[in-house]
Structure 1
């Protein structure tokens, strides 16, 4: 069975507190969603602002493969705004639960039904495709919900949507009302699930199993409060888990991680590390038992191949690590310690872990160099001097002194801020000496308050296209950024030197 993917990242996803997208950003995301293979894109809510209307219009005229939809209340002015934006498909809604009718709309049940019928008939008279949502459906009286759906069907609705507006449903209940909707309308049924109790994806899957043909989802599960059903989780669950029938989507799953990162960067909402499918830790392993199993057969501790969603697995050294994981990580650099040497390296790593220290690849190589008495396996780049000045009216300025493979280099530069100035000064040195440049910089806050910790992730690239990433955590943004940059430089330069040595052998 083919399941339709209706993406509402640009509408419900943008309702995430703190997110506000320009028309240009919305169009760029829509193009990414189209490449991903979504069937429908809810481009926005045209009535709310001129910028929103422009964004929807731009997307509607972008010649995308996906159907382009806009949100409209059961008001003629909302529907007219959608038409003015160039839409031929609207998603119109009115609340149907007693709590919404009484405290939000101040309408009787009969008045709500009348407004729903009027809106659907008006939209159909304009030649629009209409998807109707009964907002807060899962808290609506079940018999009344069936009456609403039957009424809008008779008015000409093309599709019915069941919103679990506050994430209140259970998989069992949403399956029951999905069957109600199908029996009452004989139309294609969608579900729009929120994640307030962490059940959005489970509820969407249950509804599909009960006969729903479509799910409203967002990239990374962003949206109001706790968010929406996550597109990547929903799609991969349908594709990979065991069901009574086979489900398929039009999604190119190899683009899931890339799309997730792209959206995360534009909207400014970090993906939690342990998030399924697209979180940084989703295919990461540290435990010795797990690493050993994955190296023998990835299916032991990975339900799917990371490549299926555009990822690669990675191993972390730490106090939970085992000899097999250490050996596998060193093998990436062409280093093969003896069994005794591996054991000693592991012991040193565990001691650092017990002290609460995070062991980077560069530090692992340095430890290995000491144990194996190989001078080449050590930090090649050291920061020996650093200062930065900034203030009101003065352009931030940084001075950096690096020691690269025993030679001292000095770099100075300006920037829009102290971090930018510091990175620019380092790049001025490494661009000339090592042909390494920064490709990506990401800053995240990982704790609150005036003493918040920040996390800086940097990706660097050399002249041959080789890339390496490094991450640093600290209280000072500037120092943490510089440390991440130095770690990235060490990692990529060590990789290059070790590759050259191995090719020479």
Structure 2
């Protein structure tokens, strides 16, 4: 059954339904504004996602406003709302002018009896009535059997069959609490697929989100519910990017525009405030980063040596990290990225010192490498941008900051405002630098905070300008100063060539 070959045929048509704006927003601490929902919806559209669940219209007026903002975008994707098994929820969804609804009805006896205090037969009858009502309003309707993975399969089949007979466009097998495995998923979806179009909604509580999604597809499902970055309640929903790349790379089944996945992940991470785990598949910082000397050397010789697919496939770039495992080949490649010339003997000494830094538990940044290289070669670095003074306040209604910089020998002062003191200080730096400050902030990490009264925070930033990228880490007692110092040092490294210095002086 599960072991048949191929597991998923390459002639299958599979679509993805994204529920980041509904199920993803139910993750603890996540609350999206209407503007943020619009931004994510537009990114999902660029990625070619087929269905976007924009929220739960029954949540409140603010949520309905956000859903309406998404429907007003006139996307190619079908825009839907989550609805409980209540007629009023359907009416609220209609107010938002959605294309369709996901009608969620209890399927397991635990939900039928304990949650809603009903009976199996009453749920079947009510489901049929609600489906007919929604279809009379010209809505696309998907009926989800909540807690379906713990439901009696005979009853689940009866319930979903009733929904389809009443006019539902499709039904969904829901592993609501991430309870089951691929064998049971395959059996359940196989039975539902005999009735009509079937979807799969899987969670990752057992780390089986993708596995169960693939088992469902193998059994006949042609629509998978996902969230970007695997957001969601508890351990989250199955991650959209993981399902998409698994189907493409392993089974030659295309679902979305893969090269949009990383940009989509970054947008969702920024708007939700949930950082990506470094080792996260597809989108994590380390997914295409190599530090090991053996791996770096092999990758430099053949870029397929230690990667399953090219990083460009999902909108990424390969990165060579520096640390205790870095060999001479990795150091030489990193120096070449920064146009830094060194002899074979000097490269050997630089590699030795980089290893020593790594042995002391240091994360070796580009700035660390260049400082070591300059010391070994005697090629002193003449700064182009230097932070002279920083003042930031956040006590008032609008956080403000002012900076004083030395820019190619010229003193510049500027002020800025932002959503917090760090944001305000960064705005001030960009204002002081003018066009030269238009580098992209690719990553911002608070790596470590020591305890006690002398607490120190370490901030690492990665910035890019044109085709150059540099990372810098700085430690201070104040997160704003650490952030700005790191950013200024990164900009200094990006702007040290003679042409950039002339541009700065002429601003």
User: In the superposition, relative to structure 1, how do residues 408 and 86 fare at CA in structure 2: closer, same or farther (>3 Å)?
Assistant: closer
Alignment partners' CA distance in 2, 1:129 and 1:410: 59
Deviation at 1:110, TM superposition (A): 1.9
Name which of 351, 354, 366 aligns with 2:356. Answer: 351
Alignment partners' CA distance in 2, 1:159 and 1:16: 26
Which residue pairs with 1:123 in the alignment? 134
1:337-416 equivalences under 5 Å are: 337-375=342-380, 378=381, 380=383, 383=386, 385-388=388-391, 390=393, 392=395, 398=402, 400=404, 402=406, 407=409, 409=411, 411=413, 413=415, 415=417
Which residue pairs with 2:179 in the alignment? 168
Name which of 6, 10, 33 aligns with 2:21. Answer: 10
1:86-110 C-alpha deviation (Å, 9 max, x unpaired): 1232110112112222321111222
Which residue pairs with 1:306 in the alignment? 311
Is 1:23 aligned to residue 34 of structure 2? Answer: yes
User: In the superposition, relative to structure 1, how do residues 189 and 478 fare at CA in structure 2: closer, same or farther (>3 Å)?
Assistant: same
Q: Is the 8 A contact 1:445 1:453 kept in 2?
A: yes
Deviation at 1:284, TM superposition (A): 0.7
Which residue pairs with 2:505 in the alignment? none
Name which of 112, 115, 122 aligns with 1:101. Answer: 112
Which residue pairs with 2:293 in the alignment? 288
- Equivalent residue pairs, number: 485
Alignment partners' CA distance in 2, 1:467 and 1:23: 35
SS at 2:304 equivalent: helix
Which residue pairs with 1:503 in the alignment? none
Q: Is the 8 A contact 2:338 2:468 kept in 1?
A: no
1:97-496 equivalences under 5 Å are: 97-183=108-194, 185=195, 187-241=196-250, 243=251, 246-249=252-255, 251-375=256-380, 378=381, 380=383, 383=386, 385-388=388-391, 390=393, 392=395, 398=402, 400=404, 402=406, 407=409, 409=411, 411=413, 413=415, 415=417, 418-420=421-423, 422-423=425-426, 426-427=429-430, 429-431=432-434, 435-437=436-438, 439-440=440-441, 453=457, 455-457=459-461, 459=463, 461=465, 465=466, 468-472=469-473, 474=475, 476-494=478-496
Deviating more after overlay: 199-208 vs 103-112: 103-112
Q: Which 5+ residue runs of structure 1 have no aligned equivalent?
A: 501-505
Deviation at 1:292, TM superposition (A): 0.8
Deviation at 1:441, TM superposition (A): 8.2
Alignment partners' CA distance in 1, 2:263 and 2:498: 26
Deviation at 1:323, TM superposition (A): 0.9
Deviation at 1:11, TM superposition (A): 1.2
SS at 1:68 equivalent: strand
Is 1:42 aligned to residue 53 of structure 2? Answer: yes
Alignment partners' CA distance in 2, 1:189 and 1:336: 60
Alignment partners' CA distance in 2, 1:210 and 1:425: 56
User: In the superposition, relative to structure 1, how do residues 62 and 428 fare at CA in structure 2: closer, same or farther (>3 Å)?
Assistant: closer
Deviation at 1:226, TM superposition (A): 1.2
Deviation at 1:181, TM superposition (A): 0.9
Q: Is the 8 A contact 1:443 1:454 kept in 2?
A: no
1:68-92 C-alpha deviation (Å, 9 max, x unpaired): 1111112111111222221232110
Deviation at 1:411, TM superposition (A): 3.5
Deviation at 1:60, TM superposition (A): 2.3
Deviating more after overlay: 486-495 vs 117-126: 486-495
Deviation at 1:458, TM superposition (A): 5.5
Alignment partners' CA distance in 1, 2:38 and 2:423: 29
Q: Is the 8 A contact 2:47 2:257 kept in 1?
A: yes
TM-score (norm 1): 0.88
Deviation at 1:364, TM superposition (A): 1.2
Q: Is the 8 A contact 1:400 1:422 kept in 2?
A: no
Alignment partners' CA distance in 2, 1:84 and 1:412: 48
Q: Is the 8 A contact 1:93 1:116 kept in 2?
A: no
Q: Which 5+ residue runs of structure 2 have no aligned equivalent?
A: 1-11, 503-507
Deviating more after overlay: 80-89 vs 315-324: 80-89
TM-score (norm 2): 0.87
SS at 1:271 equivalent: coil
Deviation at 1:421, TM superposition (A): 5.5
1:214-270 C-alpha deviation (Å, 9 max, x unpaired): 1001111111121111111100000001x4xx4222x11111111111121122221
1:41-88 C-alpha deviation (Å, 9 max, x unpaired): 111111221122222223223221111111111211111122222123
SS at 2:316 equivalent: coil
What is the RMSD computed on CA atoms of the aligned residues? 2.8
